[in-house]
Structure 1
């Protein structure tokens, strides 16, 4: 029986797990960032592995045949560690990562590599929606003089890490109409997002286009040398070919 470990945390990971054929023994792994994650319908472990050494040891101990990295496109450290661990142990390894977003007619996007660049782009006195997650907030400590909004799934247990910011609680997905209403209500002037890709979270970009709001977009980190597929269907085909 095939033993597959799926590094999860994305909608693609959930879709893949639900589509795997009978005879595949699948285990999912979550980083543990969300306190109440969605049930994946399979045995699920939560928390880190302890770096490359820990993940390699897990792959050996659990006799994993195939490692599918379906983590977030910006989980660069985990993706790098997965590639190294799979190569060390000699298990099949594939990265399932959806295509990134590309600007369309009417979009006003500026691309950056580092969030510290944002302060040079967005003037003081503006209201900025940070669609980048709470774990990135320390990178915006130089954004004094702006009002910052960060949306989180779980109610925050700590205050915003610096003055001028506030958390907004909400669980995606959000429709375009919901995002338009939110941005209008909060008088948002700018969006800052990662190029995560996917249809579920694109609504904020569609809402920004509709409202004429400018967007600062962080480019994706480079991928390690590994097989890469862009859709669940392609991943299933890759797994079938590998046997």
Structure 2
């Protein structure tokens, strides 16, 4: 199978990683563990030879504006663009610190802008719902994303399930992702995410015997994507 060439070249990094965390401090929907998510993601992306930008506690408008500015600055950072969001989510959207909704489709459109010279896009979204049900209709909401070649979306929770995190330890999904991916850089990203999904599904949550956390992946990638320095 053909392989994407995303290996670092000389002093140039593999790509740009954008991290966005919203902790909703001072509200009933407080997410204190997202700081640990951000730290784990930062360390992982540095190990994978990315330049990293971290945006914390942005409103929905600030989130999309930051993405626009980041995309403008990506001409010389490499071939891969990654965006990870740890925040509350609802159907097909993530929430800003102001609890306003930002459509995931709009984020994809912004990151896949023709203004950037980056040819590969990788997006991994962590959406925590703190007990609320979320619903994703992949066919309805994400089929339009297919016009952008080489897009990968990873969600911490599938429809009817919730994403869980622990104070000072981070979310289970990000924890498993950041431990597994750096140790399996020679494996295709789809194989890696399948293993992460399996590990997350196997976790037994305190006080919960009827539900498991079910991550979800949506991909239009046409080749293997690995992070090894081949």
TM-score normalized by the length of structure 2: 0.33
Normalising by structure 1, we get a TM-score of 0.31
